[in-house]
Chain A
Amino acid sequence: MNEDVDVVRLPAKDSALINRFIKAGEFKNKSEFITYAVKKAINEVILREFEEKSRAAPPMAEKDVDKLLTEIKDIRKKLWEGYAHRVF
């Protein structure tokens, strides 16, 4: 697996805090902590963007939910054909 090695300069107090989490067994090492933190930050930024885009969306009515579920079902049927062919 290709992995980028980036040197991140952290303030001493942040580094000490991370070490405390590692000692407490929350994370295996600094790399695991930083990977988690980066993912979380990316996820938060994108979620905020989705929230911004959907701010004015009207609430879904029952027929909208049923339509969505039907659309998902149609996609699911097609996907299954591909997976079934490949996996079994």
Chain B
Amino acid sequence: MHTAYFDTNVYIIGILQPNSNSRLILREINKGNLKVILSDYLIDEVLAWFKTNKGKDFASMVRLYMMSLPSSELINDFEWSVFVDEWKSFVGDIDDLPHICSYFAGELEYFVTANRRLTEMKIKEHVNFMSAKKFIEEVCGFEGIDTVKGI
């Protein structure tokens, strides 16, 4: 089973955009075909965005959704923080670090994101970054959907 860390934008876009590669990823996760690592930081981000933009009720539904992801494992700050010292000099924006460290803590194969800025940092030599479209095509073996930034 492939293992991956999906950035906040993948969950938000997957939930909101019907014809997107991110939605296809959410379907693959639901089938139990992918092992997913979640972090407390990731869940907080996703929920904060939904709370601000879609309201409390929608955010509650998203919380339940995140907690019910099959084949998922939650990494908390005690675990990802162990990797901070090793990787902080490779990341331009320190606030991206918990995601990167969760990827290492989970010993994952892929880091899927639409955040091009993150994928251009020095850390790119150590993290297997991919767009949602590339992940769908190269890892899941489906035809991807043509979207802006491969979302």
Interface residues of A (CB under 8 A from B): 36, 39-40, 42-44, 46-47, 49-51, 54-55, 57, 59-62, 64-65, 68-69, 71-73, 75-77, 79-80, 83-84, 86-88
Q: Is B107 an interface residue (CB 8 A)?
A: no
Cα distance A2–B31 when bound, in Å?
28
Cα distance A82–B147 when bound, in Å?
34
| Contact size range, B | 35 or more
Give the shortest distance, in Å, between A59 (CB) and chain B (any CB). 6
Interface string of B116-149 (1 = CB under 8 A from A): 0000000000000000000000000000000111
Give the shortest distance, in Å, between B27 (CB) and chain A (any CB). 7
Cross-chain contact A79 with B48 (CB below 8 angstroms)? yes
Known: A40-B30, A69-B115, A77-B95. A60 touches B147 (CB 8 A): yes
Cross-chain contact A42 with B149 (CB below 8 angstroms)? no
Q: Is B73 an interface residue (CB 8 A)?
A: no
Known: A46-B68, A61-B148, A80-B94. A68 touches B12 (CB 8 A): yes
Known: A79-B48, A87-B81. A49 touches B98 (CB 8 A): no
Q: Is the interface of B mostly helix, strand, loop or mixed?
A: helix
B70's nearest neighbour on chain A, judged by CB, is A40
Cross-chain contact B81 with A88 (CB below 8 angstroms)? yes
Q: Is B89 an interface residue (CB 8 A)?
A: no
Cross-chain contact B65 with A46 (CB below 8 angstroms)? yes
Give the shortest distance, in Å, between A78 (CB) and chain B (any CB). 8
Interface string of B45-80 (1 = CB under 8 A from A): 100110011000000010011001111000001100
Interface string of B17-38 (1 = CB under 8 A from A): 1111001001101101000000
Cα distance A49–B27 when bound, in Å?
13
Known: A50-B15, A57-B18, A75-B45. A69 touches B68 (CB 8 A): no
Known: A40-B30, A43-B65, A46-B64. A55 touches B18 (CB 8 A): yes
Cα distance A42–B68 when bound, in Å?
6
